[in-house]
Structure 1
């Protein structure tokens, strides 16, 4: 596949991933098509060498794994990314009446979004709904494939400060317009019920989020750019999954995990700080007949690549970036490092991954924050709380991170897939922190 084709598949993947629940459902379809066996957490796991499996938690996190046939040097080779993106969540009592006949939705911020990027564009809602069905509570994916909401800006004539650093208030400025009189209080739940084909009284509860409906595109006179909602972090979820499915390693257990709730701190039952990955790895270990001590030996020889997008140099504000550790669109994978250990990269993990990239001639660049700026955190250091292993943080360079519409370079998706495919396909034999052999 060329860069255009890979980017078109990426955009299709993101378009089908309207919420974290849809992201996981989309990945399940990829794994099902590839012949993977679904193992619910609530059932007994029977795992065999050579088998391919996946499990989920909360329908918003997913972990897939491939079991090698020759586990003489048993260990895990793992990538981690996340299924969620910054947006706004609809509150349990959603409707705000007035002024006049207006009907607005009451929402609150999920994650650290750029508020201004959500104004004056068509929006919808997606997520999950719990309904009563034949005496049971049943989970349903929910998405309205229609432009039904908008957050209108105040005209500049009435807000002369809007271009001078205006501070938006989420409880005042960021409430989407639902109706100007055609809909009344109670019609939101009726709409949800109608879309699901059920009675209003059978709708029990909802986790619904705003969705940016702006058209995705590949753009530039030379097709240099890709723009879409949710690049952070569905681009990494997509590339790690594609590399995972196209790899084989007889000597390790390859793992592809996608956590939920990274954008709000990861400290949930399905987040990177949860026991989700630890529980799964320990169950794999015991189902294969290995003991607790062998599990700890395996973890000590394992390697995690935490995949979460990185900041590309902004063309209008280069002064915001470190002078020597800055990254660019279409220039390869970004290795992220921070002295405060918000990124897990160290000399040992960086050396291993640089060797992987060198083997397939994938370009690499380095990111660090300016020393007078505090950066964000990601998955690697948080997941290491539960499963402590060698790890590094990487990403794909992008512009406008946490905007409702983000931009990356068209070449970098393919670079990431190629490097992670080599990572999964290479038997990395780690000797504590003294060295590694690649087979």
Structure 2
């Protein structure tokens, strides 16, 4: 695929993922199309060398793995991204009435978004709904697939200071307009029931979120840019999976792709990076292949993880917010992230390993560190290491406006990210503790 092909494919992927539950469903469909077999966590697993498999947890996290043919001295090569983004979740009792005949949606922030970017946007609602079907209760994906809400700004005539100082109270200002009077209380759940073709009384619970309905787009006089909701971190989720599929099986290792939920709120859930999900999958793979506990521990000690989460590209209007020497740029390729207070899992050893992989495949790469007087954000690499400890490096696609509801990256960076991940999954990276490593043919 060309640079443009990958950029437009990412746009299509993002448009089909209005919630983390839809993201997992889309990734599952892509893996099934590529010949991967789905394994339920509640079933016994039968795994064979040369096999391709995936499993999900909570309908919002997914792990796929491709088993090599020659596993006498094997290890895992993992790339992990996350499928959630900062959004506003609709509360269990959805509606707020008034003033007058207005009907509004009561929402709560999920993650650390840039609040003002959500104002005056056409918003949809998506997530999962638990529905009674006879003696069973089943989880159904839901997407309004139309504009159903807006969070209106206050007119400047009513707040003359807003351009000098904008302060938003989430309980007052971030409340979504749902009806001007044509709908009455409980209309929100009635809308969902009608869209799903079920009775309102059969909806028992839901996890649904507002989402920006603006489509992802490649743009610019030279088509240099890609803007979309949820680039953090669906850009990396796309690049990592497509890289694994492009690489194909590596006969001496087990290639692993993970896309976790709940990174934006700390990852400490049953389906987050701090959960046992990755550990459980790797241990079950080891056991199903007839390997011992000793062999599992040796395999993990020789394994490697790419923690894939986007990086801050140098801002065109605020270059002073970035480190003078350690900054990354749009369309310059994947960035290797490092910070000395350890929010990232990168160190000299892991950085050298990834640089060697990229250099061997002639794939461009950049570096990113925060300014020394500014704290950066954390991500999932070190959190995952609390359960499965292995060498790892944090990498990401450079982007602008991280945590806005509409973010921007370089259109070429998508293909460059896929190239980097393909090189990673293709190589046979053999690690000797922290003494050294070898890229075997």
| TMscore range, shorter length | over 0.9
The Cα shift of 1:160 comes to: 1.5
Contact 1:121/1:151, CA 8 A, preserved across alignment: yes
Secondary structure at the counterpart of residue 158 of structure 2: coil
1: CA distance between counterparts of 2:74 and 2:32? 26
> Which residue number corresponds to residue 158 of structure 1?
158
The equivalent residue for 1:357 is: 358
Structure 2 distance, partners of 1:420, 1:7, is 16
1:414 Cα deviation (Å)?
Answer: 0.7
CA contact (8 A) 2:15 2:215 kept: no
* Preserved CA contact (<8 Å) 1:75 1:253: yes
Alignment RMSD (CA, Å) = 0.7
Is the partner of 1:240 in helix, strand or coil?
A: helix
- Give 2:189's aligned residue: 189
Give the Cα separation in 1 of the matches to 2:429 and 2:255.
11
Offset, 1:362 = 1.4
1:419 Cα shift?
Answer: 1.1
Partner secondary structure for residue 113 of structure 1: coil
Correspondences of 1:70-219 after superposition (within 5 Å)? 70-219=70-219
Inter-partner Cα distance in structure 2 for 1:48 and 1:218: 41
2:253–2:428 contact (8 Å) kept in structure 1? yes
Distance 1:127 1:363 in 2: 37
Paired residues of 1:217 and 1:226 also in contact (CA < 8 A): yes
Which position in structure 2 is the counterpart of 1:259? 260
Indicate yes or no: 2:5 matched with 1:8. Answer: no
| Alpha-carbon distance, 1:364 to partner | 1.2
Q: Which moved more, 1:189-198 or 1:359-368?
A: 359-368
Q: Distance in 1 between matches of 2:394 and 2:171?
A: 35
- Aligned counterparts of 1:165 and 1:426: Cα–Cα separation in 2: 52
* Native 8 Å contact 1:150 1:177 kept in 2: yes
SS in 2 for 1:246: helix
Structure 1 CA distance, aligned partners of 2:215 and 2:424? 34
Structure-2 separation of matches of 1:165 and 1:244: 47
Deviation at 1:161, TM superposition (A): 2.0
Counterparts of 2:423 and 2:366 in 1: how far apart (Å)? 18
Distance in 2 between residues matched to 1:164 and 1:29, nearest whole Å = 48
1:372 corresponds to: 373
CA distance in 2, matches of 1:172, 1:302: 49
Q: 1:334: which partner in 2?
A: 335
> Is 1:321 aligned to 2:308, yes or no?
no
Conservation of the 8 A alpha-carbon contact between 1:321 and 1:370? yes
Corresponding residue number in structure 1 for 2:19: 19
Whole-angstrom distance in 2 between the partners of 1:220 and 1:327: 20
| CA deviation map 1:158-198 (0-9, x unaligned) | 01121122210111000110000010101111101000101
Partner of 2:391 in structure 1?
390
Give the CA deviation at 1:269.
Answer: 0.3
Provide the C-alpha distance between the structure 2 equivalents of 1:145 and 1:224, rounded to a whole number of angstroms.
29
Q: Where has structure 1 moved over 4 Å in runs of 4 or more? A: none
The answer to whether the Cα contact below 8 Å between 2:14 and 2:216 also exists between their aligned partners in 1 is no
Distance in 1 between residues matched to 2:362 and 2:412, nearest whole Å = 14
Deviation at 1:246, TM superposition (A): 1.5
How do 1:26-37 and structure 2 match up within 5 A? 26-37=26-37
Q: Structure 1 stretch 359-368 or stretch 175-184: which is displaced more?
A: 359-368
TM-score of the aligned structures, taking structure 2 as reference length: 0.99
SS at match of 1:403: coil
Match of 1:404 in 2: 405
Cross-structure match for 1:298: 299
| Rounded Cα–Cα distance in structure 2 between residues aligned with 1:253 and 1:398 | 31
Q: Which residue matches 1:45?
A: 45
Deviation at 1:72, TM superposition (A): 2.2
In 2, the alpha carbon distance for the partners of 1:38 and 1:80 equals 19
CA distance in 1, matches of 2:25, 2:362: 33
Q: Return the offset for 1:119.
A: 0.5
Give yes or no for the alignment of 1:62 onto 2:67: no
SS in 2 for 1:411: helix
Q: Provide Cα deviations, 1:130-174, integer angstroms capped at 9, x if missing partner.
A: 000021101100001111110000000101121122210111000
Contact 2:90–2:106 under 8 Å retained in 1: yes
User: For the Cα contact (< 8 Å) 1:73–1:429, is it kept in 2?
Assistant: no
Give the secondary-structure state (helix, strand or coil) at the position aligned to 2:243: helix
Compute the displacement of 1:2 (Å). Answer: 1.6
C-alpha deviation, 1:4, in angstroms = 1.4
Map Cα deviations across residues 377-435 of structure 1 (whole Å, 9 max, x no partner): 00101000000000000000000000000000011111111111111111111111111
The answer to whether the 8 A contact 1:63-1:255 is kept is: yes
CA distance in 1, matches of 2:31, 2:404: 30
1:221 paired residue number:
221
